[in-house]
A and B are shown apart, each in its own frame.
Chain A
Amino acid sequence: MSLLEVQQVSKAFGGIQALTSCSLSVEKGSITGLIGPNGSGKTTLFNVITGYDSVDAGDIRLGGNDITRAKPDRVFSMGIGRTFQLTRVFQRLTVLENMHVALPRKVRGLLLHWGSPHEQTRALELLDFVGLTKLKDQPAGTLSYGQKKLLEFAIILVAEPKLILLDEPAGGVNPTMINELGSRIRALNEKGITFLVVEHNMEFVMGLCKTVNVLHRGTTIASGSPDEVRLNPAVLDAYLGA
Chain B
Amino acid sequence: MSSLVVQGVVLGILTGGVYALMASGLTLIFGVLEIINVAQGILVILGAYMAFVLQQTYHVDLFVGLLITIPLMFGMGVFLEWAFIRRIKGDRITLSILVTYAIALIIEGILGYFFTTNYQVLHAWYIDATIPVDGFYINVIYIFVFLLSVVLLGILYFLVYRTPFGRRLRASMQNRTAASLIGINVSRVQAITFGIGVALAGAGGVAYGATNAFNPASSYDLIYRLLVIIVLAGMGSLGGSLIASLALVIIGDVVALVWSPVWSSTVFFVLLILLLLLRPQGLFGRVEGRKQ
Binding site for B on A (CB under 8 A): 43, 47, 52-53, 84-86
**B292 pairs with A86, CB closer than 8 A:** yes
Asked if B87 is at the interface (CB within 8 A of a chain A CB), the reply is no
- Please measure, in the bound complex, the distance between the C-alpha atom of A52 and the C-alpha atom of B288, giving whole angstroms: 12
- Please measure, in the bound complex, the distance between the C-alpha atom of A103 and the C-alpha atom of B292, giving whole angstroms: 23
- Please measure, in the bound complex, the distance between the C-alpha atom of A52 and the C-alpha atom of B292, giving whole angstroms: 10
- Please measure, in the bound complex, the distance between the C-alpha atom of A123 and the C-alpha atom of B28, giving whole angstroms: 47
Chain A residues positioned under 8 Å from B292 (CB to CB) = 43, 84-86
Taking the closest CB of chain B, its distance from the CB of A41, in whole angstroms, is 14
A43 to chain B: closest residue by CB:
B292
Taking the closest CB of chain A, its distance from the CB of B123, in whole angstroms, is 53
Chain A residues positioned under 8 Å from B290 (CB to CB) = 47, 52-53
- Please measure, in the bound complex, the distance between the C-alpha atom of A47 and the C-alpha atom of B290, giving whole angstroms: 9
- Please measure, in the bound complex, the distance between the C-alpha atom of A84 and the C-alpha atom of B292, giving whole angstroms: 7
In the A-B complex, the 6 residue pairs with the closest CB atoms: A52-B290, A86-B292, A84-B292, A85-B292, A43-B292, A53-B290
Chain B residues positioned under 8 Å from A47 (CB to CB) = 290
Q: Which of A43, A52, A85 neighbours the largest number of chain B CB atoms within 10 Å of its CB?
A: A52
Taking the closest CB of chain B, its distance from the CB of A71, in whole angstroms, is 12
- Please measure, in the bound complex, the distance between the C-alpha atom of A86 and the C-alpha atom of B290, giving whole angstroms: 13
Chain B residues positioned under 8 Å from A84 (CB to CB) = 292
Taking the closest CB of chain A, its distance from the CB of B149, in whole angstroms, is 33
- Please measure, in the bound complex, the distance between the C-alpha atom of A194 and the C-alpha atom of B292, giving whole angstroms: 24
Produce 1/0 per residue, B208-240, CB < 8 A to A.
000000000000000000000000000000000
- Please measure, in the bound complex, the distance between the C-alpha atom of A101 and the C-alpha atom of B126, giving whole angstroms: 66
- Please measure, in the bound complex, the distance between the C-alpha atom of A85 and the C-alpha atom of B290, giving whole angstroms: 13
Taking the closest CB of chain A, its distance from the CB of B97, in whole angstroms, is 20
Name the interface residues of B260-292: CB closer than 8 Å to any CB of A.
290, 292
Taking the closest CB of chain A, its distance from the CB of B18, in whole angstroms, is 35
